[in-house]
């Protein structure tokens, strides 16, 4: 394995000041010509457009685009082609949205559930959708920042989940609302932050809220009418398979949310997804048992929602070692066979690769003995450790300083005595999606990094988390860094690893022989897919190109302002690669992430930037306003929420 320290090829220039602007004109386009040609044609001779049609570009979330116009020989010339400032960004928002490109239109969601349709070649706004019937955001139970991870497109509609736990269908041509359905009652702490998956007339979406003791599920809705087709509960009720893994009535508030977009295998007729933590999060005293299907990979029938198989990555999770990263489907070549596989990185720092026909591991998994005290936590005596190489370190090294807590062995149960553990609750792979390249056979994983966490709990701790839980600010002398890994699926070993100063919390996209990924300090990188060599880095603070003063003037990479409007912040979105008018683009959201945000790390912003080979730069803004204190017309919501509560019954 090759480990490198990340470096960039940016031209260093003096940074300009950042102007504060809060209100902008609609679809303002400022065109500045660079001169020169519009760029080369595709190396493969394919002049047609290519879409990024779903969250993972294909139903299996592989996140690979077979294009080569931008390639290792010319990626160093990549420049911004257009910049859209959405007008929605603040210290409370995370701009994690995945842009979708379908039928010549790009669709992107803001952290406050606006949807913007725009021209993918110029960034010009076609229409906007702004919720007018949502509760004020401060009245909603939202874990981990105000965010929306994107939309799904199909059946002539755009589907978006909202923070008030509603699923809305919009007309793809106009943005007008077609239907709305309450997925769950927001008054009971449910919310939606995930991007739906559209497939064959169905809209498939999970639910968020595991930190508030909800009961998780995945649902499928009719794309035409919004009617519920089926629902699979990730915490089984009485009489259902797995209910005996929950003590007493703890299943009723068992958590196991589905944070991210499910994958679809059309040939096997499966929906496959990963699940979040059991609840209460770090106190297992009331929920003895393995707690199926928390911290698991689950496959259900696409037409009925019936369980086909499951694999639990963490038994009786009491560390927040859950599975918010989306699963991805790929073909594994092993022992001369081509095997339909599913891969997933858990926050415990390991990568699991399963046969997606059966759920059986394709690399050995050993049930390994782990610490079992204190007994009031009802810890599992073993945990499933895969033979694939670890993605991040699994022990606390050095002297963290600044705390009396004791470094503890991996999988030590939280207890009355304060502990420090690596991985911690957010040290491993979070929601940002990994990607797979069929050219290399590598999976590219935003692995998190080395960031030990402080744990302390007791049997009488009755809050939602069930623990006192803190990251590095509680021991400021501790080392910390981020890791971006390439896992060779043929061997289960790391092919290369990139080390950066802060935890890696960016989605990944593969375009031909290039891998694109971002950093919380606002850098956006292209690396060689085979070697991991960094070939290009964009940094707004160092930008030298068309409209340099305007770009650098909106740069908030140093976190100098908590105002995230008209600002280029942390590169914590999920990139997309597409072709429009014969030109290849790479687009990324630069708005930061509240879970990573600290000082200069992951500063807020509202910028969506598309990059291409040199031609021109458009700067576009909208008149969208944040939903901070909006008056909600609640009558319609109330009726739908009451219907949703009926859907929660057995």
Compute the mean pLDDT over every residue in the chain, rounded to the nearest whole number. Answer: 88
pLDDT in tens, 45-61: 234 689 999 999 999 99
Q: Give 219-225 contacts, CB < 8 A, sequence gap 24+.
A: 219/183, 220/271, 220/302, 220/305, 221/167, 221/181, 223/154, 223/155, 223/157, 223/159, 223/169, 223/198, 224/155, 225/179
Ordered by where they begin, the domains of the chain are 21-472+481-635 (2.140.10.10)
Distance CA 208, CA 444 (A): 25
N- to C-terminal Cα distance for the chain?
50
**pLDDT confidence tier of residue 184, bands split at 50, 70 and 90:** very high
C-alpha to C-alpha distances, 445 to 20, 32, 456, 517, nearest whole angstrom: 35, 37, 30, 10
Pick from 124-133, 365-374, 411-420, 523-532: least confident: 411-420
Answer with the residue of higher pLDDT: 328 or 477: 328
> Mean pLDDT across the stretch 102-116?
98
Backbone angles phi, psi at 138, to 5 degrees: -75, -5
Q: Give the pair of three-digit tokens for residue 37.
A: 């040609």
Report how far apart, in Å, the C-alpha atoms of 433 and of each of 55, 117, 235, 477 are.
Answer: 9, 23, 24, 30
pTM as predicted: 0.90
Model confidence at 469, pLDDT cuts 50, 70, 90, reads low
pLDDT digits (tens, 9 = 90+) for 583-636: 999 999 999 888 777 755 789 999 999 999 998 789 999 989 898 654 434 444
């Amino acid at each position: 394995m090759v480990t490198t320290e990340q470096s960039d090829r940016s031209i260093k220039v003096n940074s300009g000041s950042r102007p504060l602007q809060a209100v902008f004109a609609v679809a303002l386009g400022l065109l500045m010509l660079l001169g020169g040609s519009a760029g080369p044609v595709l190396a493969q001779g394919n002049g047609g457009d290519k879409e990024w049609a779903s969250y993972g570009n294909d139903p299996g979330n592989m996140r690979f685009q077979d294009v080569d116009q931008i390639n290792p020989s010319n990626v160093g010339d990549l420049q911004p082609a257009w910049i859209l400032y959405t007008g929605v960004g603040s210290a409370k928002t995370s701009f994690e949205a995945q842009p979708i490109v379908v039928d010549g239109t790009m669709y992107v969601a803001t952290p406050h559930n606006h949807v913007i349709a725009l021209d993918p070649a110029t960034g010009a706004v076609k229409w906007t959708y702004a919720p007018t019937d949502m509760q004020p955001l401060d009245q909603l139970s939202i874990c981990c920042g105000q965010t929306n991870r994107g939309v799904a497109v199909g059946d002539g509609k755009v589907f978006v989940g909202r923070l008030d736990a509603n699923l809305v269908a919009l007309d793809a041509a106009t943005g007008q609302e077609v239907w709305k359905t309450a997925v769950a009652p927001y008054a009971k702490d449910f919310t939606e932050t995930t991007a739906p998956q559209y497939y064959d007339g169905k809209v498939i979406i999970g639910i968020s809220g595991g930190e508030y003791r909800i009961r998780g599920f995945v649902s499928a809705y009719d794309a035409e009418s919004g009617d519920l087709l089926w629902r699979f509960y990730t915490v089984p009720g009485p009489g259902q398979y797995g209910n005996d893994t929950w003590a007493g009535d703890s299943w009723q508030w068992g958590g196991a949310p589905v944070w991210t977009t499910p994958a679809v295998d059309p040939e096997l007729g499966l929906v496959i997804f990963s699940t979040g933590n059991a609840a209460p999060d770090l106190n297992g005293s009331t929920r003895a048992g393995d707690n199926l299907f928390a911290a698991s990979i689950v496959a259900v029938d696409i037409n009925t929602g019936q369980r086909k198989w499951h694999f639990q990555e963490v038994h009786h999770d009491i560390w927040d070692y859950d599975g918010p990263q989306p699963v991805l489907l790929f073909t594994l070549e092993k022992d001369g066979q081509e095997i339909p596989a599913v891969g997933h990185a858990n926050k415990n720092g390991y990568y699991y690769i399963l046969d997606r026909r059966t759920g059986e591991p394709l690399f050995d998994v050993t049930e390994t003995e782990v610490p079992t005290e204190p007994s009031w936590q009802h810890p599992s005596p073993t945990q499933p450790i895969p033979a694939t190489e670890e993605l991040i370190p699994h022990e606390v090294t050095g002297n963290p300083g600044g705390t009396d807590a004791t470094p503890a062995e991996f999988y030590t149960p939280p207890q009355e005595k304060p502990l420090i553990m690596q991985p911690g609750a957010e040290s491993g792979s979070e929601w940002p999606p990994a990607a797979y390249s069929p050219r290399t056979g590598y999976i590219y994983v935003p692995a998190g990094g080395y960031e030990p966490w402080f744990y302390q709990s007791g049997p009488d701790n009755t809050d939602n988390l069930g623990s006192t839980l803190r990251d590095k600010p509680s021991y400021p002398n501790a080392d910390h860094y981020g890791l971006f890994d390439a896992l060779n699926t043929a061997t289960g070993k790391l092919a290369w690893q990139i080390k950066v100063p802060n935890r890696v919390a960016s989605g990944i996209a593969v375009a031909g022989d290039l891998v694109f990924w971002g950093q919380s300090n606002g850098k956006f990188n292209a690396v060689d897919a085979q070697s991991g060599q960094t070939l290009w880095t964009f940094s707004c603070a160092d930008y030298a190109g068309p409209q340099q003063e305007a770009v650098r003037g909106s740069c908030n990479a140093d976190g100098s302002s908590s105002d995230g409007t008209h600002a280029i912040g942390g590169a914590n979105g999920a990139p997309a690669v597409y072709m429009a008018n014969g030109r290849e683009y790479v687009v990324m959201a630069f708005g930061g992430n509240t879970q990573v945000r600290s000082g200069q790390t992951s500063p807020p912003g509202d910028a969506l930037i598309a990059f291409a080979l040199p031609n021109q730069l458009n700067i576009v803004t909208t008149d969208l306003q944040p939903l901070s204190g909006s008056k909600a017309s609640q009558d319609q919501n109330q009726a739908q929420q009451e219907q949703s509560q009926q859907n929660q019954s057995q």
